[in-house]
Amino acid sequence: MKNFENEPLSYWLDSTEKTNYPSLDKDINTDVVIIGGGIAGITSGFILKERGLNVVILEVDNILEGTTARTTAKVTSQHNLMYNKLIKEMGEDYARKYLQANEDAIDFIKQIIKEKNIDCDFTELPAYVYTTTDKYIKDIKDEVIAVQKLGKDAVFVETLDLPFNVKGAIKFENQAQFHPRKYLLKLSKEINSNGSYIYEKTKVVDIKDEKTVKVITSNENIISAKKVIIATHFPIENFRGLYFSRMYTERSYILGALSKDSIPNGMYISAEKPIRSLRYQNYNDKKMLLIGGDGHKTGQGENTKKHYNNLKKFAEENFEIESIPYRWSTQDCMPMDDIPFIGKITSNSENIFLSTGFKKWGMTNATAGAMILADIITNGKSPYSEVFSPSRFNIKGSISNFIKENLNVGYEFIKGKLKTGNIDIEVATGQGKVVDLNGKRVGFYKDTEGKTYIVDTTCTHLGCELSWNDAEKSWDCPCHGSRFSYDGTILEGPALHELSVKIIDD
């Protein structure tokens, strides 16, 4: 298996039907506007509607096709090795509430699946953080002690159902995995009726924080509401809260592989880097192995094809692989102190709320976020507000990362401006590169029909220079994670405006 025979494609997307909700074409009023149709937005809308409010969900593309459709879909409160660190930096009470919020999210998902009779491959399994080296044994044992101190059953184990030797692992019981789109598509149908609506292909360009909040679309339609939840993957607000300086983005990769070997019956992630994540997924009459990892900062992965190849090499070294029918990549927002931003977008904002920064654990963190925001909006408070508050400032946990990551942004900004393009403007079919065209740095891409797309490689967010991502055929921002298709359209925010493009036919 020297080469991949397929283009990147998410199994979650390929195994479910595409949605077809209408675009908004008029001014409307509602109780709560939710911007973003991923797991955070859909779950928020579902809970708020269940509590008697009218909601409107606005999605710039189709719902549930972003990061939610490109996850490993582990439903777990085990978020790698974080609880011992969290106790040291923020104290036991803070760590206990973070853990409990995610345990509540697991229980919520389990309960809703049962109540609504949702067929979504929900399976309860243990989750493990393992190591293959002696270096992380103490860290894992310390994590076991920390988690037990917080009241969660966790144990240290020395053997696992894996085809390679491990030195040890922490085991979380009563965790789960599922098919995220099968679950959330059912919730979306529950939302879209009786005064609540989902609108797709509807782009938000402004939010006016007045007594009645006004959300304005690119078609100049206005949605008036009492409250607004921004549940876009990266906040569409540049300056309220300055979240672009408080988070960075990472891309990671997943293979869906069929193997002749028996598939491990659990969810696994390595303590050491490069990360290797494993779980199975029911696939026809077989079990498909999902292998994830090999993450890097967005726009800073050099030849991005190598990350898929690294995972393929790992798969072939440890399993007798028959085929790899699926592969895809995802993007995660990484807060400096590892805790999501869930709550009022700023301390003095009473009507605009935020849910973002789930790191690599969006299934439970996003669900917890929806529960927290629903409590705040309907009851005025949540027991977890302080932990996830976007206005928090954790000196121990974030100041060093804040300095490091923003220095990295500055470095990438300057490096991009100084770097010149290739003077050779010839590009092969299916390839992209940065070229110097009459003294201006531009991006070239040639498609299979002979069309050449020439784009301005300056990110429309805050002006960083974009890098070519060969694995996904996209232009990626190394500063704040915006991504654009080869034709200049937006794939990932926080950018709100497309790249200028010129198309030349051969």
pLDDT in tens, 91-140: 999 999 999 999 999 999 999 999 999 999 999 999 999 999 999 999 99
pLDDT in tens, 451-462: 888 888 888 887
Whether omega for the bond prior to residue 325 falls within 30 degrees of 0, making it cis, is no
CA distance 128 to 270: 8
- Mutual orientation of helices 39-50 and 362-379 as an angle, nearest 10°? 40
pLDDT at residue 400 greater than cutoff 80: no
Residue 123, in any domain of the structure: no
Range of 142-156, 383-397, 420-434 with top mean pLDDT: 142-156
501 shares its domain with 433: yes
The answer for residues whose C-beta is within 8 angstroms of residue 2's C-beta and 6 or more apart is none
At 75, is the secondary structure helix, strand, or coil?
A: strand
38 burial (CB, 10 Å; 0-12 / 13-18 / 19+) is buried
CA distance 388 to 380: 15
Residue 81, in any domain of the structure: no
Residue 253, in any domain of the structure: no
User: pTM of the predicted model, to two decimals?
Assistant: 0.84
Residue 90, in any domain of the structure: no
Residue 160, in any domain of the structure: no
460 shares its domain with 356: no
Displacement of CA 155 from its chain's centroid (Å): 29
430 shares its domain with 466: yes
431 shares its domain with 498: yes
> Do 406 and 245 form a contact (C-beta atoms < 8 A)?
yes
DSSP-assigned letter for residue 9: B
496 shares its domain with 432: yes
Residue 451, in any domain of the structure: yes
Residue 254, in any domain of the structure: no
Q: Residue 491 pairs with which residues in a beta bridge?
A: none
- CATH number, position 432: 2.102.10.10
pLDDT in tens, 255-305: 999 999 888 999 999 999 999 999 999 999 899 999 999 987 776 656 678
For tokens 């919520």, name the residue. 108
Closest CA relative to residue 332, chosen from 293, 370, 304: 293
Parallel, antiparallel, or unpaired: how do β-strands 168-177 and 28-35 relate? Answer: unpaired
CA distance 239 to 175: 38
Mean pLDDT for the stretch of residues 43-61: 97
Comparing 45 with 236, the larger pLDDT belongs to 45
- Mutual orientation of helices 395-418 and 83-90 as an angle, nearest 10°? 110
| Mean model confidence pLDDT for the chain | 88
Q: Domain total for the chain?
A: 2
The answer for residues whose C-beta is within 8 angstroms of residue 440's C-beta and 6 or more apart is none
DSSP-assigned letter for residue 224: E
Strand order through the sheet with 490-492? 467-469, 474-476, 483-485, 490-492
The answer for residues whose C-beta is within 8 angstroms of residue 264's C-beta and 6 or more apart is 160, 161, 162, 163, 278, 280, 289
453 shares its domain with 491: yes
Residue 364, in any domain of the structure: yes
Residue 414 pLDDT grade (very low, low, confident, very high; cuts 50, 70, 90): very low
Per-residue 3-state assignment (H helix, E strand, C coil) for 265-323: CCEEEECCCCCEEEEEEEECCEEEEEEEEEEEECCCCCCCHHHHHHHHHHHHHHCCEEE
| Segments forming the whole domain that contains residue 432 | 419-505
384 shares its domain with 433: no
Closest CA relative to residue 497, chosen from 461, 456, 444, 448: 461
pLDDT value, residue 123: 98
233 shares its domain with 343: yes
- CATH number, position 369: 3.50.50.60
426 shares its domain with 476: yes
Mean pLDDT for the stretch of residues 375-385: 96
pLDDT at residue 407 greater than cutoff 50: no
